[in-house]
């Protein structure tokens, strides 16, 4: 049997160990507080990051909408300008599955190539319903474009009148003048050509190639109160 002293020592030893355990248990919450605080700070930072990312996403979407609106406005202006021009057919190309593309020009200064035509586009030729395939090179036409795309939805075409009675009578290359007859009578004599553009059979040419008897169409422009020759379209 243990002696009284041994029992007391055992009790004291147990009490001491228990005390240490109690002290350690009391200190654990204090040790957990910084970790809890750090975890809360991390969660708050992550929440701020998510909010910032959401703001960035909204800002980017707003920027894209602004860009799209600006582009749409420019495209709408361009669409209106293209629809206000009288074009000349330079070529029609089948694009497969009943689709076509057009090559157009305006006084050989403005050109449109690979302009798509909607399959259900309404076509009128000389005020009669027609088809895109019926268009001929040299025809004049006006366009109607889709509201949201550069695609032709309507064509009003007409065959230009052949003015076979406008003929070259005489050309003076040195003086840069041209004389034209109409129905066998003098119409324009010694017309100064200057820097007017000259096209023979649709290709750029010069005054020397315009021979007597060639058919011509003349375009004039009024500048500063004076009428000057701008374009000569000639055919053999």
Q: Concatenate the DSSP letters of all residues of 179-215 into one string.
A: EEEETTEEEEEEEE-TT-EEEETTEE--GGG--TT-E
Q: How many residues does the chain have?
A: 236
**What six digits make up the tokens of 70?**
């600006």
What is the pTM assigned to this prediction?
Answer: 0.46
Could you read off the pLDDT of 139-170 as tens digits, one per residue?
999 999 998 888 999 999 998 866 567 899 99
Q: 231 or 3, which is more confident?
A: 231
Mean pLDDT, the chain, rounded, equals 83
pLDDT of residue 9: 54
- The answer to whether 80 and 88 have CB atoms below 8 angstroms apart is no
Could you read off the pLDDT of 79-129 as tens digits, one per residue?
888 898 889 999 999 988 888 999 999 877 788 899 999 999 999 999 999
Instruction: Give the rounded percent of residues in the chain with a pLDDT score beyond 90.
Output: 46
Q: 165 or 64, which is more confident?
A: 64
Average pLDDT of 221-236? 81
pLDDT of residue 20: 45
- The answer to whether 71 and 119 have CB atoms below 8 angstroms apart is no
Local confidence band at 66 (pLDDT 50, 70, 90 cut-offs): confident
């Amino acid at each position: 049997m243990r002696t009284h002293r041994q029992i007391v020592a055992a009790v004291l030893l147990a009490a001491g160990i228990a005390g240490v355990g109690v002290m350690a248990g009391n200190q654990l919450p204090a040790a957990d507080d910084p970790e809890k605080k750090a975890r809360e700070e991390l969660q708050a930072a992550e929440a701020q990051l998510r909010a910032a990312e959401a703001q960035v996403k909204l800002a980017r979407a707003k920027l894209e909408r602004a860009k799209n609106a600006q582009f749409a406005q420019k495209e709408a202006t361009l669409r209106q300008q293209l629809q206000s021009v009288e074009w000349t057919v330079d070529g029609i190309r089948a694009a497969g599955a009943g689709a076509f593309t057009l090559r157009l020009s305006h006084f050989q200064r403005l050109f449109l190539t690979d302009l798509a035509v909607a399959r259900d586009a309404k076509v009128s030729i000389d005020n009669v319903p027609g088809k895109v395939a019926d268009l001929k090179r040299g025809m004049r036409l006006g366009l109607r474009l889709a509201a949201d795309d550069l695609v032709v939805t309507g064509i009003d075409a007409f065959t230009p009148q052949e003015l076979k009675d406008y003929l070259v009578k005489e050309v003076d290359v040195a003086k840069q003048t041209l004389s034209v007859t109409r129905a066998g009578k003098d119409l324009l004599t010694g017309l100064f050509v200057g820097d007017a553009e000259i096209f023979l059979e649709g290709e750029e040419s010069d005054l020397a190639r315009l021979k007597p008897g060639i058919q011509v169409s003349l375009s004039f422009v009024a500048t500063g109160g004076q009428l000057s020759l701008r374009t000569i379209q000639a055919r053999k």
